[in-house]
Amino acid sequence: MKFRLRKKNYFNRILVVRTDRIGDVVLTTPVLKALRENYPASHIAMMVNPQTKELLEGNPYLNEVIVYDKDKKDKGILGFWRFVLELKRKRFDLAIVLHTKNRLNLITYLADIKRRAGYKNNKFGFLLTDKLVDIRPLGLKHEVDYCLDILRKLGLKISDKIPYIAVKKEDVDSVGNILEAEGIGGSAARFTTGRDIKIAAIHPGSSCISKRWPRERFVVLANRLVEDYGLKVILIASGEENEAIANEIAKQIRYPVLNLSGKLSLGQLSALLKRCVIFISNDSGPVHIASAVGTPVVSIFGRNQAGLSPARWAPVGRKDAYLHKEVGCSICLAHNCNIGFDCLKAITVEDVLKAVDDILKA
């Protein structure tokens, strides 16, 4: 009889922890693929917040998505301990903590997860059993590589760095119905134009003023996409302030545009972006969704503060491009900029169109 020796660092049940924002979660997906390739028979779960759960549904590398809702269901001391006990019952033997928060280090420790790997940059970092010094704020390399460095510390092999999101059929069908109703996709488009219409999506919003390209330039850009490339322009945005920006832009564009701001779930957004030939956006979460579904991206960057720059947060798809211009700042103050975000203003409509042209003609 032959016996197969198990690897020293073999883990049966693995938990990946990332409870921050959309882009952060998407850029963690290469970790899931690497774990599955190294541990094909293991149970792999990911712990996220309620807002990003949908991004992981249908992911072929995951067995389970665990939602940690610290503002509602898991709020307060009772909610915290209830969640810890639920996690403990799942009997994970490895936690990879990629969101460096004291609370998360404590949760994985109290849940009796024997190996806890992550970055040490807070007072509960000592609870990690396998740790790296957190130099991510220096922005010396991309966030994907920072995530994968934890796996490298555990001795795992990495084959791919491209993010991945599964697009669900129900979202494809839902978006298809929306486009068909507007005469953009499917049989309606073929009936009116004899062909499927090519779509460019634009996202003029972002989480911070230091990441917003002037809105009037999005207006000019949209007009040129129609005139120069015959593209149908769709606007997307979420959140009250960003939706107001998109609504204002939509009113000023000379041609009919479809404004879906505030009308799509994350799953529907993924399906829509997959349908596009190009996506143009400020630095934001949807940039990484587009990359993850294989749609070429042009991402507009302003701030170059260490840890916030394109060196760490640019899109990583094989056909993606990002635009950033230095304007002589010795230190980037990001949202506290005192020269009116000249780095963003330095990026012209022609700069963006050149990037679009290079992608579409490649």
**Could you tell me if 191 and 278 lie in one domain?**
yes
pLDDT classification of 3: cutoffs 50, 70, 90: very low
* C-alpha–C-alpha distance, residues 16 and 41, integer Å: 16
Query: Pick from 118, 153, 188: which residue ends a domain?
Result: 153
**Could you tell me if 111 and 218 lie in one domain?**
no
* C-alpha–C-alpha distance, residues 354 and 362, integer Å: 12
| Contact assessment for residue 284 and residue 300, using Cβ atoms and an 8 Å cutoff | no
14-27 CB burial, b ≥16 within 10 A, e <16: bbbbbbbebbbbbb
User: Is there a domain that residue 1 lies in?
Assistant: no
**Could you tell me if 179 and 81 lie in one domain?**
no
What pLDDT shows up at residue 307? 84
**Could you tell me if 132 and 180 lie in one domain?**
no
pLDDT tens digits, residue range 93-108?
999 999 989 999 999 9
pLDDT classification of 208: cutoffs 50, 70, 90: confident
Q: Which of 38-47, 238-247, 330-339 has the lowest mean pLDDT?
A: 330-339
User: Is there a domain that residue 216 lies in?
Assistant: yes
Q: What is the pTM of this model?
A: 0.92
Q: Please provide the average confidence, as pLDDT, over all residues in the chain.
A: 90
What pLDDT shows up at residue 331? 62
Partner residues linked to 47 by β-bridges: 17, 66
User: Is there a domain that residue 5 lies in?
Assistant: no
pLDDT classification of 343: cutoffs 50, 70, 90: confident
What pLDDT shows up at residue 328? 55
Query: Pick from 126, 153, 180: which residue ends a domain?
Result: 153
What is the per-residue DSSP string for 312-329? HHS--STT-EEE----S-
CATH of residue 118's domain is: 3.40.50.2000
CA-based nearest residue to 39, from 4, 3, 6: 6
**Could you tell me if 279 and 332 lie in one domain?**
yes
* C-alpha–C-alpha distance, residues 291 and 275, integer Å: 12
> What is the residue range of 137's domain?
13-153
Instruction: Check pLDDT > 60 for residue 129.
Output: yes
* C-alpha–C-alpha distance, residues 132 and 258, integer Å: 46
How many domains are contained in the chain?
2
pLDDT tens digits, residue range 263-315?
999 999 999 999 999 999 999 999 999 999 999 999 999 877 778 889 999 99
What pLDDT shows up at residue 42? 98
pLDDT classification of 327: cutoffs 50, 70, 90: low
**Could you tell me if 125 and 42 lie in one domain?**
yes
pLDDT tens digits, residue range 44-57?
999 999 999 999 99
Angle at Cα 295 formed by Cα 304 and Cα 162, nearest 5°?
65
**Could you tell me if 104 and 145 lie in one domain?**
yes
Which residue is it, tokens 């990037």?
A: 355
Q: How many other β-carbons are positioned within 10 Å of the β-carbon of residue 270?
A: 27
Instruction: Check pLDDT > 50 for residue 231.
Output: yes
pLDDT tens digits, residue range 344-353?
889 999 999 9
Residues in the chain: 362
CA-based nearest residue to 273, from 298, 290, 248, 261: 290
pLDDT tens digits, residue range 218-228?
999 999 999 99
